[in-house]
Amino acid sequence: MTSSSNQTPKPILVRKYGGSSLASVDRIKSIANDIHTKHSSGFRLVIVVSAMGQTTNELAALANEVSPTPSRRELDMLLSVGERITMSLLSMALDDLGCPSISFTGSQCGVITDSSHTEAEIIEVKGDRVREALNKDQVVVVAGFQGVSLEKEITPLGRGGSDLTAVAIAAALGADRCEILKDVDGVFTADPNQVSTANLHDTLSYEELEQIAGTGCGVVHSRAVNHARKHSVQLFVGSSFHNSSGTIISPANFKSETTNCPENTPYKPLAITLTDGISLLECTIQNQGNSSELLDKFSSCIQCNVPLQEWVDFDSNHISWNLLADASVLETINDKISDLLIKEGVHHTHSSELSCLSLAGRPPLNWVDTSRKIITIIEDNDIADYRIICSDTNLRILLNPAEAVTMLPIIHDNFF
Ligand code: ASP
Ligand code: MG
């Protein structure tokens, strides 16, 4: 048993291991060793796992070989298998080390979600079986990325959703800390595999990590950070390969009430992220006084819960409506709205295969100086074809893929 009534209970630690940390049998065995050591040093442990390596992508490809349009329900049944493979293998490896453990699926842990079959929202984490197992001093291994709806269907938490599983379980158990362990040493100013001069952030506030995660850099899922902030879960992002000081995210790291950079201080972004496979859809139509009606029609067509940047420019003559998103997302939207665009006589251009460099951090009062600086850097490198898009939260630079790779370290080193 973990404690008698007059002993302080052992701290609860929730750890999440990503797919690349669990990509082989050797990695699973090595992580089992680390978990065993941690458990022996006096922790109650919940281990949330992702699917091994590229398993989720491979399962999705397998589904597409069987059917070009698999039903969403059956696809979710299939994809949820990836994490179940890892959880059971890890639990077996722990048993072999003499470390008591048990694995559970999301539904066995009582991760209750709405009935969305793309990116389900967690309604509640019951966690009864997790608590019972912890009380028996077992290491609990949980399949990430999946829950169960009130209709008892298996639901996915969206790509990269195991981070959310870990944070939600940590919140439900009142865990002392939630660790997201990865193949990098923590949260950097850029992906250290792409930019050798990238710096590690020792500490970040939830808001700052949300800004970074919002660029799609994948270091931690943005919904997980959001959940951690709402429930004050102490987060740590570090390496699964070796001991690293990592990045600590906690309410204590909150730095300032202001949301913008103070006046007269240069813009200091927190991170720059390169995203490939971006598409831009630009639609322009003459403003004939029916603009809001038209925009309503457009937006009801694209109502879907996907990461998308949308902006509208009006003047007395024209309305332009722009959408920036992952190519596959924009493909789907394009399919939905192309009839409407043709019917309404909307002039539209769809540019695909773009790459995007996104700067995240507390935005400046205006983007003029920053944009000017970026334009100079880009043009000094003889790049003529680029586009800068500023929003109230971040700045994005659209480039062709090869030029984005060239510009990433150059822009990074000019700002960090
Ligand atoms: N295996 C899922 C994915 O690849 C979930 C995760 O890794 O968090 O998206
Ligand atoms: Mg993953």
Q: Is the pLDDT reported for residue 319 higher than 90?
A: no
C-beta 51 within 6 A of ligand 1? yes
Ligand 1 pocket test: which of 79, 83, 105, 165 has the largest number of ligand atoms within 8 Å of its C-beta?
Answer: 83
pTM of the model: 0.88
pLDDT at 2: 47
In ligand 1, the atom with minimum distance to the C-alpha of 18 is: 7
In 64-171, beta strands by DSSP E = 101-104, 111-113, 122-125, 139-143, 146-149, 154-156
Q: Ligand 1, atom 9: nearest CA belongs to which residue? A: 159
Q: Rounded mean pLDDT of the chain?
A: 91
Question: 399 φ, ψ to 5°?
Answer: -140, 170
In ligand 1, the atom with minimum distance to the C-alpha of 157 is: 5
Closest CA to 219 of 233, 236, 231: 236
DSSP H/E element including 396? strand 395-399
pLDDT at 3: 46
Ligand 1 pocket test: which of 20, 55, 145, 169 has the largest number of ligand atoms within 8 Å of its C-beta?
Answer: 145
Closest CA to 187 of 159, 158, 221, 161: 221
Structure tokens at 194: 């792409």
pLDDT at 336: 82
C-beta 144 within 6 A of ligand 1? yes
Burial 97-132 (b: 16+ CB within 10 A, else e): eebebbbbbbbebbbbbeeeeebbebeebebeebbe
Q: Is 45 helix (H, G, I), strand (E, B) or coil?
A: strand
Ligand 1 pocket test: which of 16, 50, 58 has the largest number of ligand atoms within 8 Å of its C-beta?
Answer: 50
C-beta 156 within 6 A of ligand 1? no
Instruction: Report the range of poorest mean pLDDT among 31-35, 127-131, 347-351.
Output: 347-351
Q: Using the 8-state DSSP alphabet, how is residue 85 labeled?
A: H
Ligand located closest to 157 CA: 1
C-beta 334 within 6 A of ligand 1? no
Alpha helices in 214-287 (DSSP H): 222-230
Of 309-313, 315-319, 398-402, which one has max mean pLDDT?
398-402
Instruction: Report the range of poorest mean pLDDT among 26-35, 86-95, 157-166, 301-310.
Output: 301-310
**Measured between alpha carbons, how far is residue 231 from residues 95, 147, 175, 203, 257 in Å?**
33, 19, 11, 18, 19
Largest CA distance in the chain: 76
Question: 6 φ, ψ to 5°?
Answer: -100, 10
The larger pLDDT score, comparing residue 391 to residue 82, is at 82
Q: Ligand 1, atom 6: nearest CA belongs to which residue? A: 160
C-beta 101 within 6 A of ligand 1? no
Where residue 215 falls (left for φ over 0; alpha for ψ -120 to 50; beta otherwise) is alpha
C-beta 50 within 6 A of ligand 1? yes
Q: What is the mean pLDDT of residues 116-123?
A: 90
Ligand 2 centroid to residue 49 C-alpha, Å: 9
Ligand 1 pocket test: which of 17, 87, 159, 167 has the largest number of ligand atoms within 8 Å of its C-beta?
Answer: 159
Ligand 2 centroid to residue 51 C-alpha, Å: 7
pLDDT at 259: 60
* pLDDT single digits (tens) 42-55: 999 999 999 999 99
In ligand 1, the atom with minimum distance to the C-alpha of 51 is: 1
pLDDT at 254: 58
Instruction: Report the range of poorest mean pLDDT among 107-111, 216-220, 259-263, 276-280.
Output: 259-263
Please report where in the chains the tokens 């990269």 appear, as a residue: 160
Ligand located closest to 83 CA: 1
C-beta 56 within 6 A of ligand 1? yes
C-beta 84 within 6 A of ligand 1? no
* pLDDT single digits (tens) 215-238: 888 899 999 999 999 999 999 999
pLDDT at 260: 66
pLDDT at 257: 47
Q: What is the mean pLDDT of residues 164-193?
A: 97
* pLDDT single digits (tens) 149-172: 999 999 999 999 999 999 999 999
